[in-house]
Structure 1
Amino acid sequence: MRKVEGGGLREQNKARRRSLILEATRALLRDGPDSVISTERIAERAQVSPATVYNLIGPRDKVWEALAAGFMDELERRLAVSGAGDPRDIVRSTVRLFADDPVVSRRMVREWQASGLVFDRSPLLQLRRTMADARTHGLLRADIDTDALAATVAASCVGALHQWVADLIDDEQFLARSLFALDVALAAAASDPCRDQLLAPLRTRGTA
């Protein structure tokens, strides 16, 4: 029993230090959009050794990956709290998450080489679930591959994200384009009885 407790305490301490390191990284990024991010600067800000940063996070590219994972953890927490069961709510929550901390999220997406994967965990899992539910309830056609449909929407959202990161569109346009991609996908997959219902958002809103 003591070994289990000791192991658990060590893991808690590692998780706490990892959290401190990531928050220190975010703080450095907020100091300025072009702040230099290095193991040494992160370690100094987090009040740990550079070796601790490397051991708990990894080399520089892993820092961005860890920040992205933290974003997705927070998104999952928000979706769980809100009980989001509507794909529109999932898209809105995702866009707001990035827009809430623009300096950090923009730098993370620019620097992380695998940033196209940022939606592969959350919200893709939630989109798959809600679209499968929509098919089960007859909103979408029975022959629709809802996993592929969710992946298509996520890919469009990644495209809008990169436009936002490049300052080509603002927060409202980021949200509008992401919702437009979702509405197009849902309308294309709509069952006959629900076609007018799922086409309605496209008829009443511009494409931004």
Structure 2
Amino acid sequence: MRTAEGGLRERHKQRRRERILAATRELLREEPESAISTELIAERAEVSPATVYNLIGPREKIWEALAHGFMDELEDRLAAPGTGDPREVVRSTVQLFVTDPVASRRMVRGWEASGLVLDRSPHTQLHRTMADARTRGLLRADVDTDALAAVVSASCVGALHQWVAGLIDDDRFLTRSLFALDVALAAAAADPYRDQLLAPLRTRDAT
């Protein structure tokens, strides 16, 4: 009985936490340049400010929680069939941000550790898909796919911050992210697949 009660309590906490994050995203969309206070979030989520603080934390933790929410959503997308390709990992990641541009831009601007925003799911998925490509013979057997995925992730973070700053648009965000991936894949290509992996670079404008 105690275990069942504890599980119910945790589910209630999780639902309130989800309401708080949903309320935060709504407020960000409505007032993109306004400061979002704990009191406003609490009012929109229909909880007390103390609940916001207890379940999420101070402002820095709110941005962090939003980032983790983004990554949870991305993991759901990447769990779908047909997402075992590194290009699909990059494409799905970019689409996640540009689908909710106001909230994602504010989250990246507000979170001091925003450079880590792609460090969880995208990097893990990239490493997995690149390791699989090496196993299938597309990449050379001596390639360190974890290091390769880390380089691509760093490039994508750079493109993300350019997009957040308004220096590039949605299409260029995707193009630059895919270009970084294609450069890495071409550099690591096994001889039989070199022309195939070089092909995207011969036809792309990545400026």
Q: For the superposition of Structure 1 and Structure 2, which TM-score range results when normalised by the shorter chain? A: over 0.9
Q: How many residues align?
A: 207
Instruction: Please name the residue that 2:90 is paired with.
Output: 91
Instruction: Please name the residue that 1:41 is paired with.
Output: 40
Given residue 118 of structure 1, which amino acid in structure 2 is its aligned partner? V
Tell me how far apart the structure 2 counterparts of residues 32 and 50 of structure 1 sit (CA, whole Å): 20
The answer to whether structure 1 residue 122 and structure 2 residue 124 are counterparts is no
Given residue 190 of structure 2, which amino acid in structure 1 is its aligned partner? S
- The runs of 5 or more residues in structure 2 that have no matched partner are none
The answer to whether structure 1 residue 185 and structure 2 residue 180 are counterparts is no
Instruction: Please name the residue that 1:160 is paired with.
Output: 159
Instruction: Please name the residue that 1:51 is paired with.
Output: 50
Deviations 1:13-53 (CA, angstroms, capped at 9, x unpaired): 00000000000100110112112111111111111001100
Q: Which moved more, 1:54-63 or 1:35-44?
A: 35-44
Q: Which moved more, 1:48-57 or 1:35-44?
A: 35-44
Tell me how far apart the structure 2 counterparts of residues 206 and 56 of structure 1 sit (CA, whole Å): 46
Tell me how far apart the structure 2 counterparts of residues 74 and 122 of structure 1 sit (CA, whole Å): 10
Given residue 112 of structure 1, which amino acid in structure 2 is its aligned partner? W
Tell me how far apart the structure 1 counterparts of residues 148 and 101 of structure 2 sit (CA, whole Å): 28
Given residue 166 of structure 1, which amino acid in structure 2 is its aligned partner? A
Tell me how far apart the structure 2 counterparts of residues 138 and 78 of structure 1 sit (CA, whole Å): 26
Q: Which moved more, 1:64-73 or 1:77-86?
A: 77-86
Q: Which moved more, 1:186-195 or 1:152-161?
A: 186-195
Given residue 145 of structure 2, which amino acid in structure 1 is its aligned partner? T
Instruction: Please name the residue that 1:145 is paired with.
Output: 144
Tell me how far apart the structure 2 counterparts of residues 26 and 49 of structure 1 sit (CA, whole Å): 18
Instruction: Please name the residue that 1:78 is paired with.
Output: 77
The list of structure 1 runs, each at least 4 consecutive aligned residues, that deviate by more than 6 angstroms after superposition, is none
Given residue 19 of structure 2, which amino acid in structure 1 is its aligned partner? L
Q: Which moved more, 1:124-133 or 1:76-85?
A: 76-85
Instruction: Please name the residue that 1:169 is paired with.
Output: 168
Give the percent of matched residue pairs that are identical in Structure 1 and Structure 2: 76
Instruction: Please name the residue that 1:13 is paired with.
Output: 12
The answer to whether structure 1 residue 111 and structure 2 residue 101 are counterparts is no
Tell me how far apart the structure 2 counterparts of residues 33 and 45 of structure 1 sit (CA, whole Å): 16
Deviations 1:131-183 (CA, angstroms, capped at 9, x unpaired): 00001111111111100000100000000000000000000000000000000
RMSD across aligned C-alpha pairs, in angstroms?
Answer: 0.8
Instruction: Please name the residue that 2:199 is paired with.
Output: 200
User: The residue matched to 1:81 in structure 2 has which SS?
Assistant: coil
**TM-score, with structure 1 as normaliser:** 0.98
Tell me how far apart the structure 2 counterparts of residues 186 and 32 of structure 1 sit (CA, whole Å): 41
Tell me how far apart the structure 2 counterparts of residues 168 and 36 of structure 1 sit (CA, whole Å): 23
Question: How far off is 1:82 after superposition?
Answer: 4.0
Q: Which moved more, 1:42-51 or 1:79-88?
A: 79-88
Tell me how far apart the structure 2 counterparts of residues 62 and 83 of structure 1 sit (CA, whole Å): 34
Question: How far off is 1:81 after superposition?
Answer: 2.2
Tell me how far apart the structure 2 counterparts of residues 36 and 44 of structure 1 sit (CA, whole Å): 15
